[in-house]
Amino acid sequence: MRDPIYLDYNATAPIRPEVRDAVIAAFEVSGNPSSVHGFGRRARRVVEDARAEVAVLCGVAPARVVFTSGGTEANTAALRATGRTSVLVSEIEHDSVLETVPDAPRIPVTAGGLVDLEALERLLNAAEGPALVSVMRVNNETGAIQPLADVVRVAHAHGALVHSDAVQAAGRIPLDMDALGIDLMTLSAHKLGGPQGVGALIVRDGIPIVPVLRGGGQEHRRRAGTENVAGIAGFGAAARLAREGLDALGTLAELRDDMERRLIRAAQEAGKPALVYGHASPRVANTTCIAMPGATSETQIMTLDLAGIAVSAGSACSSGKVKPSHVLTAMGVPAAEAGSAIRISLGWATTAGDIDRLVEAWAALRRRTPSPGT
């Protein structure tokens, strides 16, 4: 039996060996990082060393990094902590944003999956009072890189703050929070090859934060609760490795682009369509969203899984079920077409051999699946 292949890095990247070592080493540290004795000081040093690594990844001072239980908590905190009652979010945000502010006006996107800046301007003109605008840096399904500098320019002209969910951007493009002008930013360790259950909210200097979790003075009174020392240690190691790996992204992009060309060619040879979404927009190097009209997303995922290959249909859902993509719907993709899309996401351990097996299995399914209407 051949080894399984993991191509779902946008859901969770496999933990890196160096991260595992950092987590294990941190488990040997016994103290509470809030304690003043020697044990506590050693635990505090682990936390602060990791905070420094995360800060360097984002181009900010360590004091601006607030550790959380993950990206979902960081997004929730960002949307609630500033006290702004007028909130605008893009239509393609992660559910942890959309469901935190379900009644917030939605900023539409173009057919290429990028935020419509003219629509943002109109919504800000209609907003009651200073707003908070939330636009992700990189879309988790298409890999499209959002025009954050332009979003910030438009928003700040209206006195609005800007939050960006950068979970899918960290380690995949250079991430300089101050150069972009972002006010609040979300990160998650497990997208970088770090442990699950730890993330961060990065806060621009001068923005007062009302903590969502109360009851302690941790994180400079911005997030109560004893810090997850081992998880944070792993986050720090993952952040360092992600920063060091930025130079290798060109190679990953070549692997992804070659994969897309081969998938499209295989479909053409079978006389059937294959559609890649967001390909005309700036994208991160590792992500492909491709549709096989005539085969549902679920059928493709199950077939590839039987071949030992893990892909997804977009955001990982807690129920494990495939659900329609709100991202593709927002881009104007017809429902039946969107229902035949899968996401393939590569990462630090992906090889050319992995891509060969994916193309082989996908092409075999494409050949035996009839096109719609045939």
The residues annotated as belonging to the active site are 317
Per-residue HEC secondary structure of the chain comes to CCCCEECECCCCCCCCHHHHHHHHHHHCCCCCCCCCCHHHHHHHHHHHHHHHHHHHHHCCCHHHEEEECCHHHHHHHHHHHCCCCEEEEECCCCHHHHCCCCCCCEECECCCCCECHHHHHHHHHHCCCCEEEECCCECCCCCEECCHHHHHHHHHHCCCEEEEECCCCECCECCCHHHHCCCEEEEEHHHCCCCCCCEEEEECCCCCCCCCCCCCCHHHHCCCCCCCHHHHHHHHHHHHHHHHHHHHHHHHHHHHHHHHHHHHHHHHHCCCCCEECCCCCCECCCEEEEECCCCCHHHHHHHHHHCCEECECCCCCCCCCCCCCHHHHHCCCCHHHHCCEEEEECCCCCCHHHHHHHHHHHHHHHHHCCCCCC
Contact 129, 33 (CB under 8 A): no
Amino acid at 53: E
Rounded CA separation 236/244 (Å): 13
Dig out the tokens for 352 from the structure.
Answer: 């050319």
Residue 26 phi/psi, 5-degree rounding, is -70, -30
Please calculate the CA angle 241-244-245 and round it to the nearest 5 degrees.
85
Q: C-alpha dihedral over 47, 50, 54, 56, to 10 degrees?
A: 120
Rounded CA separation 273/286 (Å): 22
Contact 168, 191 (CB under 8 A): yes
